[in-house]
Amino acid sequence: MTLTLDCLGRPCPVPVIELARALPGVEVGQTVTVLSDDPAAGPDLAAWCRMRGQAFEGGTGSSWTVRRLV
Amino acid sequence: MTPRTFLDAASGLPFHPRAREAFLAALDDGWADPARLYSSGRSARQLLDGARASVASVLACRPEELAFTANGASAVYAGIRGAAAGRARMGTHVVHSAIEHSAVLHACAELTPEAVGVDSTGMVSVDDFAARVHSDTALACLIAASHEVGTVQPVAELALALNAACPEVPLLVDASQVLGRAPVASGWSLLVGSARQWGGGPVGVLAVRAGVRFRSPWPEDEHEGGRAPGLVDLPAVLAAAVGLEAAVAESSAQDARLRALVDRIREQVALIPDVEVVGHPSLRLPHLVTFSCLYLDGESLVRELDALGFEVSSGSSCTSSTLEPSHVLVAMGALTHGNVRVSLSRDTTTEDVDRFLAVLPGLVARLRDEAGVSGL
């Protein structure tokens, strides 16, 4: 079971903010999928994971997966 | 009325006062065609020759290797097209760092580009770069120092490595942010720069070392060695030359002064929660610092700082005409939203920096409160 955040059409930093709000709601080890067509979403979600000690597991271009580690 | 504090030197400076004087004087004395044999033409020729010799001495090249172009992008385009055309029989492979100026990326996009990544400080690895270059590579391009994050690149080391492995492959160095601020590293085959960046107005410089294969992208007329078409804008060229002399004369003092101010900005900004300073802490330009504020958008920061009197730029996607984030920040793995670039000039005072540092933490906190992201 993975949580999906639909941020399509919403510019950065919205996807990062939505992820930051949602991640505490999933268990450690679980994932969140962020849907975003903003070209900054992939790099910024990866940077946020680096800053917060979470795992950025990549994506396809408009869908990105993050795993909660802490 | 809020006092204006210009903190975007890296986008281009106003004329240095001496460049402005030279420009105005040349409207009277330097309007004639330097190719003409009458006395006004001969005067114009002397002024142009003097400007070329002066800029060439700063670039440590010969005057005949140096052409003046309409602006920095023209120099970049002519340099890359001309060098690639000179080696067209080798193909179109061009290697460049991932943090080049967009003008370099646009020109390389016409060829077969291969980008070399950088580390989290924005530094390219000489070994990584050199490994991509082969004897049939048309051209290698490296920016001398990043215009976005300030990291100074290992130009001399790369030139040595390329010279050892593939001496026939030319190295084009974009020295736009370095000229007038620091000596240019040796070993380049082609060098490009922009006088706007040293307070010399809208003129580009393109130097091509003697012996480098080069076929001009323009019809080769008698001007500027065939590398830039038509008559130069002589008053602008004279302003560029005088502005560069002035910038070089002031560079040691300005380097120490601005470096200390940037150190203070780096220290103070890093104390604001969830603000990351990006770029190399020590191997950097003297006058430039970039940071990203988590959860904020760059456009709001630029507009709010402007309302408070501070003129800065941003690499965030919302501030770009293409809505793409800065390729430099992406290449570094840095946060691209909430990005602010502050770049100082000879006119920036300690008081300007004090006032900026006094308002920034409160502004970041207020914008986060308004966005409902405080404490996230």
DSSP B210-236: TTS----SS---SSGGGTS-S---HHH
pLDDT of A50 higher than 80: yes
pLDDT tens sequence across B235-283: 999 999 999 999 999 999 999 999 999 999 999 999 999 999 999 999 9
Reported as a single tens digit per residue, the pLDDT across B325-355 is: 999 999 999 999 999 999 999 999 999 999 9
Residue from B323, B125, B223 nearest A38 by CA: B323
Q: Which segment of B19-28, B220-229, B263-272 scores lowest on mean pLDDT? A: B220-229
Distance CA(B205)–CA(A67), nearest Å, equals 50
Give the residue among B185, B184, B228 at the shortest CA–CA distance from B203: B228
Q: Nearest CB to B336: which of A17, A43, A51?
A: A43
Residue A58 region, left (φ>0) first, then alpha (ψ -120 to 50), else beta? left
Mean pLDDT across the stretch B23-31?
94
Catalytic site residue B318?
yes
Residue B22: enclosing H or E segment and its boundaries?
Answer: helix B17-29
Residue B46 pLDDT > 70: yes
Distance from CA of B317 to the nearest CA of A (A): 7
Q: Per-residue pLDDT for B319 more than 80?
A: no
Cβ neighbours of A43 in B, within 8 Å: 325, 329-330, 333, 336
The overall average pLDDT reported for chain B is 96
Provide ipTM, 2 decimals: 0.96
* C-alpha distances out from residue B335 to A43, B170, B241, B322, B328, Å: 7, 34, 38, 18, 11
CB contact under 8 A, A44 and B324: no
Structure tokens at B343: 């770049």
B59: pLDDT strictly greater than 80: yes
Q: Judge: A40–B317 Cβ closer than 8 Å, yes or no.
A: yes
B217 exposed, middle or buried (CB, 10 Å; 0-12, 13-18, 19+)? middle
As a whole number, mean pLDDT of residues B74-96 equals: 97
Q: What is the pLDDT of residues B99-156, one digit of tens each?
A: 999 999 999 999 999 999 999 999 999 999 999 999 999 999 999 999 999 999 999 9
Share of chain B above pLDDT 70, in %: 100
Measured between beta carbons, the chain B residues lying within 8 angstroms of A56 are none
Q: Which chain B residues have a beta carbon less than 8 Å from that of A21?
A: 376
CATH: 3.40.190.10, 1.20.810.10, 3.90.1150.10, 3.40.50.2300. Which one for B5-12+251-371?
3.90.1150.10
Residue A25 DSSP one-character state: G
In A, what residues contact B, Cβ < 8 A? 11-13, 16-17, 20-21, 38-40, 43-44, 46-48, 50-51
> Which residues of chain B does CATH 3.40.640.10 include?
17-246
**Contact at 8 Å (CB) between A58 and A64?**
yes
Closest CB from A13, A20, A21 relative to B338: A13
**Hey, which residues does B207 pair with through a beta bridge?**
B66, B191
Cβ distance B155 to B183 under 8 Å?
A: no
- What pLDDT score does B318 carry? 76
CB contact under 8 A, A39 and B333: no
**Each residue's pLDDT tens digit, B150-208:** 999 999 999 999 999 999 999 999 999 999 999 999 999 999 999 999 999 999 999 99
Q: Are B206 and B75 in contact (CB under 8 A)?
A: yes
Q: Residue holding tokens 């060695």?
A: B225
* CB B116, CB B124: distance < 8 Å: yes
Domain B17-246 has CATH 3.40.640.10: yes
Overall average pLDDT of the B67-76 stretch: 97
- Of A20, A21, A47, nearest to B335 by CB-CB distance is A47
Nearest to B184 by CA among B346, B9, B60, B12: B60
Using a CB-CB cut-off of 8 Å, the residues of chain B touching A20 are 295, 373, 376
The answer to whether residue B367 scores a pLDDT higher than 70 is: yes
Q: Considering only CB atoms, which residues of chain B are within 8 Å of chain A?
A: 274, 276, 292, 294-297, 316-318, 323-325, 329-330, 333-338, 371, 373, 376
As a whole number, mean pLDDT of residues B215-223 equals 89
User: In chain A, what residues touch B291 (CB-CB under 8 Å)?
Assistant: none
Is the Cβ pair B376, A40 closer than 8 Å? no
Q: Contact B294/A13, CB-based, under 8 Å?
A: yes
pLDDT at B194: 98
Residue of A nearest to B331 (CA): A43
Distance from CA of A1 to the nearest CA of B (A): 24
Q: How far away is chain B from the Cα of A34, in angstroms, using its nearest Cα?
A: 16
Beta bridge partners of A33: A4, A65
pLDDT of residue B322: 77
CA–chain centroid gap for B110, Å, is: 21
Residue of B nearest to A43 (CA): B330
Of all helices (H) and strands (E), which one includes residue B41? helix B39-59
Q: How far apart are CA B263 and CA B357, in angstroms?
A: 12
% of chain B beyond a pLDDT of 90:
94
Size of chain A in residues: 70
Please tell me the predicted confidence (pLDDT) of residue A1. 62
3-state secondary structure B45-84: HHHHHHHHHHHHHHHCCCHHHEEEECCHHHHHHHHHHHHH
Q: Do B336 and A16 touch (CB under 8 A)?
A: no
